[in-house]
Amino acid sequence: MIGNMLRDRESQYIATKDEGTQTWRILDTWHDILRDMNPEDDVADDSPAVTVVTEGGFIALVKEASRLGVLQNATASFGITDTREPEDYGKELQEKDEELAKMREKVVKYEEENSTLRISASKSEGTLLKELAMETLLKLTLSSDIEKLTKRKD
């Protein structure tokens, strides 16, 4: 019989969600009623070994378990060791937002550099050299004019 095989399981309960009806079915695999059942037998929803919980009921159960701290204990028993408090998540989220803002600034900077490079790439090397020479001459001329203007006349 299936009941004796199920009693050898490490976990007593099996939970499944029915997407069609949005309900959870929880089977107590150690319940005495399963002892006389065959593997091909179905366990009806109204069986004492089955608990049916609606989606809303499940969410309410999880919220209350979280509020009472039971959820943290349950996750620890499964080897999940995240012990952060809700406010820690807020801090982490803020840090990630700041990091994201810095990355966006870098992207804008790289896009600007990239567009400048594209403009430069569209000009020939000769044109770029002429522009550089003209800029240099302009700077020298301005420098010379400023020097003349700042000289004292004695």
Query: Is residue 129 one of the residues assigned to a domain?
Result: yes
How far apart (Å, rounded) are the C-alpha atoms in residues 83 and 88?
Answer: 10
How far apart (Å, rounded) are the C-alpha atoms in residues 137 and 86?
Answer: 64
90 lies in the same domain as 42: no
Structural domain harbouring 128: 86-149
* DSSP collapsed to 3 states, 41-107: CCCCCCCCCEEEEEHHHHHHHHHHHHHHCHHHHHHHHCCCCCCCCHHHHHHHHHHHHHHHHHHHHHH
Query: Is residue 154 one of the residues assigned to a domain?
Result: no
70 lies in the same domain as 108: no
Give phi and psi for 41, each to the nearest 5. -75, 140
16 lies in the same domain as 64: yes
Query: Is residue 24 one of the residues assigned to a domain?
Result: yes
69 lies in the same domain as 114: no
How far apart (Å, rounded) are the C-alpha atoms in residues 110 and 54?
Answer: 52
The tens digit of pLDDT for each residue in 91-132 reads 888 888 899 999 999 998 888 887 776 666 667 777 878 888
How far apart (Å, rounded) are the C-alpha atoms in residues 135 and 137?
Answer: 6
Last residue of a domain, one of 54, 77, 100: 77
The tens digit of pLDDT for each residue in 33-90 reads 888 787 778 888 899 989 999 999 999 998 888 888 887 777 666 666 666 666 667 7
pTM above 0.75, yes or no: no
17, two tokens? 């969600």
Query: Is residue 58 one of the residues assigned to a domain?
Result: yes
